[in-house]
Structure 1
Amino acid sequence: MRLLDDPHAWVRVTAVRHGRLPARTLVRLLRDRKTFRGALVNPTIPVAVMRRMAEPSG
């Protein structure tokens, strides 16, 4: 997971989008303002997480 801390933004963005990123790490990245956008396009977002994100916040 060292690539997620790389000083170069393009390396971090590429790492966040990688399809083999562990779900726990991906969920953490979705909660972080700095990595949220990149993590949103990751194809392996758990279905339960996608459903929670789609719910209107009450």
Structure 2
Amino acid sequence: MALLENPVIRWLVAFAYLVVSLLLLIVLGDLPRVDQVVVAITVIFGFLIIPTTLKEFTEQQ
């Protein structure tokens, strides 16, 4: 848990989520263009939420 208290680590986790999600869903996935846009928006929203969620999680522990 102490590792997640560092903001750099939280953003690295979020960046890893972003890269892996976009790679799997858009590059490797065979989705139509409209679905790719929806997936990209959803993944970017998750990317922005993850650091805050991890911070709140470490504060509760």
State TM-score, norm by structure 2: 0.30
Answer 1 or 2: which has greater helix percent. 2
Higher relative contact order (CA 8 A, sep 6+): 2
Query: Over alpha carbons, which structure has the higher Rg?
Result: 2
